[in-house]
Each structure stands twice: as structure tokens, then as C-alpha cells.
Amino acid sequence: MIFAKKAMLAAAGVAMLASAVVNAETIEVKGQGVKFAPEVIHAKVGDVISFRNMATHFVESVEGMWPEGAPKMLSAMGADYDYAVEKEGVYVFKCPPHWGARMGAVMVVGEPADLDATVAKYLEVAESVKEAKPAKGLLKKFKESGK
């Protein structure tokens, strides 16, 4: 009896995972000059963010502007890179060599209940942490875009 319940739960979990994979999308982000295109991304858990045209770029998470427990982004210089989204939330990432020119992007995954509070917290980080300062303009652009 216990084995049957465990087997049913496992089958249900596999079915849910398969459903998420079937509904997953690949969202392409390109390095164009010293910008990511697009700069504002809306994704779902299970989607893959596909970085292309990265000849003089790489991608890295912005510290303090990342959902807790979500895997960090870090690619090699000049390499295409795929990031599988595992967790709902607000993500800010950058191209470190071009971060001074504000080369970064904001990604919202799912529909986080605390979206406005998270953006406000990230803006505070941008004000107080020198390394995060370039994110301020991206976050303002994101807020103005109507989310």
C-alpha cells in the first residue's frame, strides 16, 4: 500500500515535470554593441535563456539582485550560453567588461507576489553598493516599461 502511494506520487511528479518541459520556451538574448537585446525579459520557470552573439561579452549575475536559491549565471567570455530558469523571481545580470556602459538586463520569472518590493530592494542595493550602481538605470527602465 505504501509502495503504491509512493509510485503514484512519483508518477504525478514526473507528469508535472514533463508538462513544464513541454511548455518551456527558449528566449534568445543577443549581445548587440554594449547592450543586451532585449533588456527586459519575461520568462517562466522551465524556460531557457539563450545568450547568442556574445563574441566580446559574457554574462554574470549581479550580486544582491538575484532570487535566493536560484543558480547563478556565469558564462565564459565570447561563448554562447544557455541558462535554464529554475525559480520564480526577479533577476539582474550583466556583462562585466561592459557593465560601466550599463550592459545588463532585468528578467522577471513568473508572477512574483513581491515584485514591487523586490525592485525597491534592488534599487536600494544599487544606491548603496558601488558594483551594483549600473543596475539603477535598468531597474528604472523596467519599472517604466509597466512590468
Binding-site residue positions: 57, 95, 98, 103
**Cell numbers given for 63:** 550580486
Closest Cα to residue 109, out of 84, 141, 75, 126?
A: 84
Positions at the binding site for Cu cation:
57, 95, 98, 103
Q: What is the Cα–Cα distance from 93 to 44, expressed in whole angstroms? A: 17
124: helix, coil or strand? helix
Number of alpha carbons in the 13 Å side-chain half-sphere of residue 87: 11
**Cell numbers given for 35:** 547592450
